Chains A and B, each alone.
Chain A
Amino acid sequence: MRMRTRAAYGFLAPYLLIFATFWVWPIIYSFYLSFLATRIQPWSFNPAVTWGRLVVDPAFLNALRNTLIILVIQVPVMIALATLLAVLLNSQLLKARGIMRFAFFAPVVVGEAAYAAVFRLMFNADFGVINKIIGSIGLPPVAWFGNPTAAMALIMMAVTWRWVGYNAIIILSGLQAIPQDVYEAATLDRVSKPRQFFFITLPLLRPIILFCVVLSIIGTMQLFAEPFLITNRGGPGQATETLGLFLYRQGFTVLNFGYASAVAYTIAALAILISLANLWLGRSAK
């Protein structure tokens, strides 16, 4: 028995060393850093310039507001679309299933730099194919990178394009776990297909949809590459600056590690709070 315990520690040790060094310790160290003034050497304890600054820094509040706008609009739209896609892709009537799945799942493997490049070119105000299509049906061109609202819409469209298939895959796996005889019984009882969806499918999918919502909340709170690359560092001005981008600037452009750590912990706290609120709402709605 003692031999077996030794073996267990042996199996666990290499991973645990990495996990402690590059995950557990940084979590603790980051919290400590968030109380330090790091712009003057030596670093000193001064939470007024980190936590205290958060509530009065207009740049932070702007990033927070932008992130919450994306959260409130993009996440529900994407999850609803993902649920619809999962149900449609699961249909027995679907033709060309392989191509259909490919269309929605392929963006999941496209890297941020690659898809940012394509979106920048497609949405170019003067020569982009999107404005050419808009123009060909007689509408005026949209200043995707010059108009703050349009730029926010662009970020949300890009994120939805990239992630909807990912969520659809998860929801689809939940759909396929629902036993078929539930539907057969409902059909025998002459329950219509739409009613089956709302009164059987959706309630059974609720846990997995909530899981997707929580994943998307955590992802949105960390949104970085899209405003960094697509709208060129949160442009126009700071119109698409997100919390993730703000943290990047504070941490790695200004090198203000203490303040950036306070931002990081705020992101984590908000992600956890909003996720818990959603789980709580999801449960009580039952």
Chain B
Amino acid sequence: MRSKSASTFRRSIALHAVLVPLAIVWLFPIWMMVVFSTMPENAIFSPNIHLIPSDRFWENFLILQADTDFLRTIFVSVVVALVYTVLSVMLTSMAGWALARYSFAGKGLVLSIILGTLTLPYFVVVIPQFIMVARDFGLSNTWFALIVPPLFNSLGVLFMRQSFSMMPAELFDAARVEGVREWRIFLFVGMPLARPTLAALSIILFLASWNNYLWPLLINNRPDMMTAPVALGSLIGLTKVSWGGIMVGAVLLTAPMIAVFVLLQRHFIAGIAAGAVK
């Protein structure tokens, strides 16, 4: 028995000897993001190593706000992510419900198109999407352009279909016998039962929209309709720019998502485990 606990002890040491240094390396960029955001410019570009936060966060924020109206871009990002998440959850839930609980002509076709094109790279559609929205519709720099085209994402459909199809049919049949309308069954019986899936899906969609970079970069370039990641990215390319300010922007973009991750870790991990990002 004694030898067994000794070997357990050795394995525990080995485990932590590998994992602790790796964890420090992995946390380092996030830590440095915070450190940089609090440092004056001349300390960032000095020969000394600074690993402890300083006290210039507010000053750096003011510089960032002057360089680009960052609060406005955060506002655009929040509105886009919220509206996108609500719309996408509604649309994909309804579609998932139809595909899970009804049989109708064309169902197999719709499912096979969704599944067959699921892994197609987004780049295949980005040029036609751009031509359509920017040239044909003339809708660059609009809320529509930011929110509506990305709603094509079909992972919610598969996610919700999976969730709805695992529910016992008797539940809904009982309501039908009592004459409850189909849309009420969906809204008041099906949706509440799918709450854990809805939570995971919402978090994943919100995160995807919040961090979306390529499409907002292409379609909206007017400063007052830029999302925060695009505004931040445009600063990175400049030569005369405050890096402390950029780092404040990075912290403001990252901190809310880290908070969401910490508070809702279970749903978050469930969402990723189901392959629901991208």
- Interface of A toward B, CB cutoff 8 Å: 3-5, 7-12, 14-16, 18-19, 21-27, 29-30, 33, 84-85, 88-89, 91, 93-95, 99-122, 124, 126-127, 129, 132-133, 136, 161, 165-166, 169-170, 172-173, 193, 211, 214-215, 218-219, 221-222, 224-225, 228-229, 232-233, 244, 247-248, 251-252, 257, 260-261, 264-265, 267-268, 271-272, 275
B3 sits at the interface (CB 8 A):
no
Q: Could you tell me the distance between the alpha carbons of A105 and B125 in the complex, rounded to whole angstroms?
A: 30
Q: A22-B125, A26-B125, A121-B36 are in contact. Are A94 and B15 (CB under 8 A)?
A: yes
Smallest CB–CB gap between A85 and chain B, Å?
A: 8
Contacts A22-B125, A33-B127, A275-B119 given; indicate if A118 touches B250 (C-beta within 8 A).
Answer: yes
Q: Is the interface of B mostly helix, strand, loop or mixed?
A: helix
CB distance from B27 to the nearest CB of A (A): 5
B20-63 interface with A by 8 A CB criterion: 22-24, 26-27, 29-30, 32-33, 36, 44-51
Which residues from B are CB-within-8-Å of A101? 265
B18 interface residue per 8 A CB criterion: yes
Q: Give bound CA distance, A19 to B49, whole Å.
A: 51
Given contacts A7-B102, A105-B269, A215-B278, 12 further A-B contacts (CB under 8 A): A4-B102, A8-B102, A12-B98, A93-B15, A99-B23, A111-B229, A127-B46, A214-B119, A233-B237, A264-B121, A264-B127, A271-B119
CA separation between A118 and B29, bound complex, in Å?
7
Which chain B residues border A222 with CB–CB below 8 Å? 121-123
How close is A270's CB to chain B, nearest CB, in angstroms?
9
Report the Cα distance A252→B150, complex, angstroms. 19
Q: CB-CB < 8 A to B254: which residues of A?
A: 109-111, 114
Report yes or no: A118 in contact with B247, Cβ–Cβ below 8 A: yes
CB distance from B70 to the nearest CB of A (A): 12
Bound: A115/B232 CA distance, A: 11
Q: List the 5 closest A-B pairs by CB distance, nearest first.
A: A26-B128, A8-B102, A173-B273, A26-B125, A111-B211
Pick the contact of A12: B36, B110, B123, B233 (CB < 8 A).
Answer: B110
For chain B residues 227-272, which have a beta carbon within 8 Å of chain A? 229-230, 232-233, 236-237, 243, 246-247, 249-251, 253-254, 257-258, 260-262, 265, 269, 272
Q: When the two chains form their complex, are residues B104 and A109 in contact, meaning their CB atoms are under 8 A apart?
A: no
Contact across chains for A127 and B45 when beta carbons are under 8 A apart = yes
Question: Please, which residue of chain A has its CB at the minimum distance from the CB of B129?
Answer: A26
With a cutoff of 8 Å between Cβ atoms, the chain A residues found around residue B260 in the complex are 109
Q: Which of A19, A113, A272 contacts B213 (CB 8 A)?
A: A113
Q: Could you tell me if B182 and A4 are in contact, using CB atoms closer than 8 angstroms?
A: yes
A7 touches B183 (CB 8 A): yes
In the complex, the chain B residue whose C-beta lies closest to that of A14 is B91
Which residues on the A side are within 8 Å of B262 (C-beta)? 102
Q: Is the CB of A18 within 8 A of B152?
A: yes
Task: Contacts A19-B152, A24-B117, A118-B32 given; indicate if A103 touches B27 (C-beta within 8 A).
Answer: yes
Interface digits, B207-228 against A, CB 8 Å rule (1 contact, 0 not)? 1001101100010000000000
B124 touches A7 (CB 8 A): no
Are B277 and A166 in contact, CB atoms less than 8 angstroms apart?
Answer: yes
Using A88-B18, A99-B23, A114-B229 as known contacts, say yes or no to A107 and B213 having CB atoms under 8 A apart.
no
Bound-state CA distance A89–B15 (Å) is 9
B130 at the interface (CB under 8 A from A): yes
B94 to chain A, nearest CB (A): 4
